[in-house]
A = this chain, B = another copy of it.
Amino acid sequence: MNSELNPTAASLLGFLHDEPMSGWDLVARAQQRIGEFWSLTQSQVYRELARMAEDGLVEAGEPGTRARKVYEITDEGRRAFADWVSRPPREEAIRFPLLLVLAFGRHVPKEMLASYLARHRIMHADRLAEYQGERAAMPPQYEEMDPYSVATLEFGISYEEAVLRWFDNLPKQMTDPADRTG
């Protein structure tokens, strides 16, 4: 019953502090607001919501149109969230398959590795541009209104900048194996 909340469930409760939402809404909001550093899938969200409803942390309101179930956080849910918050967060976990391949680069065809690097570099450049766009779109008073969203977005920007710089400093033989100039 009073089992500890996992971070995914906790984040759902976090969003429900603002307003009641459906599972669908929560997926969308989570992907937009925390997707950068915390991924979750639809089926996870429905599973956690069902569990939390059982445990009394959320309550489904009247089913709306389209069997839409809007969940509301309960007092017990707020308590559970506060408990979760009061436990020091763990270190981050990064799982970066590209780096795994790179680490074993000796056993990987050079052209293949180069193509992976090129592809991922583009994805990161795109992401950086996206974050910078979001940052630029924020009204100036936003910084005081919600400094936390600004801070997490800025993490994304710092991170993507670092990744791009790293890509650009890789030895040329890795990114351009065919090139024999220099």
Contact = CB atoms under 8 A, between A and B. Distances in A.
Interface stretch (A30-38, A47-55, A57-65, A130-138): A30-38
A108 interface: yes
B85 A112 contact: yes
B92 A38 contact: no
25 contacts: A7-B95, A7-B97, A37-B96, A37-B99, A39-B93, A39-B95, A81-B107, A85-B107, A85-B109, A88-B116, A88-B119, A89-B100, A89-B120, A92-B98, A93-B95, A94-B94, A94-B159, A99-B152, A102-B148, A102-B151, A103-B149, A147-B171, A151-B174, A154-B169, A155-B166
Interface of A: 7, 10-11, 14, 17, 33-34, 36-39, 81-82, 85-86, 88-109, 112, 116, 119-120, 123, 143, 146-149, 151-152, 154-155, 158-159, 161-163, 165-166, 169-171, 173-174
Contact of A17 (B89, B90, B104, B123): B104
